[in-house]
Structure 1
Amino acid sequence: MWTYLAEPLSLTYPGVRTEEIGPWTEEGEKFRRLHIAFPDSIATLSTDQTIYVDSDGLIRRRDYSVEIAGNIPAAHYISGHQEVSGLVIPTTRMIYSRDENGRKITDPLVVSVRLENVAVS
């Protein structure tokens, strides 16, 4: 969970490389995309990832291949953003497999996480 909660701060870590790539449209919504290359010194599911940012500047999706599980392609959806003590924290995460065109495969839902009663002290 720490990795999830630390984004987008993790994008500022030394050695992290970012590059904006072409936009993406899904279910009528347009997203900006940012390719991220993490150095080996940062523990992550995948050293190469793509994040999708909505018109409000919120991270709404993250694509990666799960390196520790045979490079299974994942589409990780992020929602339920709430402001907590001045921080915007997403409270819902749903992870699906994705096809060769980058589209989510809706069945089965691979992982679902919902945070409740979030507090920062």
Structure 2
Amino acid sequence: MTDLLDDVIAAHGGMEAWRRVRTVDADIVSGGGFFALKGIDQDADTRRISISLHEQRASLHPYGAPDQLSVFTPDRVAVETLDGRVLGERFAPRDSFAGHQMSTLWDPLHRAYFNGEALWTYFTTPFLLTMPGVAVEEADAWQEGEESWRVLRARFPGAIETHSQTQDFYFGPDLMLRRHDYQVNVAGGFPAAQLVSDYVAVEGLRLPTRRRAYVRGPDRQPVREMLMVWIDIANVRFE
């Protein structure tokens, strides 16, 4: 790990605390213009996300109906009833996004994959940067107003399902995440800048509860008129 990553991990609670927990559950509310482009009627209802922290597994409930949930793993996504009946499933789900652009319409299984890989990435940051096969280096700092944000550039192996192979993570003077840049490969690879704030501490670990993802302009600034996805998180529980 780089010295910066060592310091970031310590500031977020440290590896010992991270290894003690296996799963996280939280309430989320989300929206934004991206879902309308995908033909998705996104409501403002609260849903419960459940994530395995040390392997890529996630589920979201309710999903489409009160008695349904989504299931995400790298090899399979599904919509199931609470009693385990499979309503729809797709194997090798990443392949189903071939040729997609920003406005390509999605079905519920496309959305289940996006929800799963995105939320897994967010809830495991910054600890996912220590996972096998992830290459991390410190990039040039970013000046944001009066603050200088240090940047970790991560290159992810193909075995990890996430937004894009290369992603930048910006940390403020307190070593908390301020911003996260990536390409949305499941939607034509458009560049995004996600602003991150409102940290909470749970079981000795610190994580942000407010995320706002914008299209990223050629000057690397978020285009504030193009809010693609917003996420608010509450009632976080690690086990």
TM-score higher than 0.5: yes
Match of 1:84 in 2: 202
Q: In structure 2, what is the Cα distance between the partners aligned to 1:49 and 1:2?
A: 15
Q: Determine which of 182, 201, 226 is the counterpart of 1:64.
A: 182
Give the superposition deviation at 1:92. 0.4
Match of 2:233 in 1: 115
Match of 2:120 in 1: 2
Structure number with the higher strand fraction is 1
Q: In structure 2, what is the Cα distance between the partners aligned to 1:35 and 1:4?
A: 16
Q: In structure 2, what is the Cα distance between the partners aligned to 1:108 and 1:67?
A: 18
Q: Determine which of 148, 158, 162 is the counterpart of 1:40.
A: 158
Higher-Rg structure is: 2
Structure 2: state its 5+ residue gaps.
1-118
TM-score w.r.t. length of structure 1 = 0.94
- CA deviations on 1:27-82 (whole Å, 9 max, x unpaired) are 32210011110000100011100110111111111111111111100001111101
Q: How do 1:2-41 residues align onto structure 2 when only pairs under 5 Å count?
A: 2-41=120-159
Give the superposition deviation at 1:8. 1.1
Match of 1:106 in 2: 224
TM-score w.r.t. length of structure 2 = 0.49
Runs (4+) off by over 4 Å = none
Query: Secondary structure at the residue paired with 1:116?
Result: strand
Counterpart amino acid of 1:75?
A
Give the superposition deviation at 1:89. 1.5
Give the superposition deviation at 1:118. 2.1
Structure number with the higher helix fraction is 2
Q: Determine which of 89, 92, 96 is the counterpart of 2:214.
A: 96
Structure 1: state its 5+ residue gaps.
none
RMSD value, Cα: 1.1
Query: Secondary structure at the residue paired with 1:42?
Result: coil
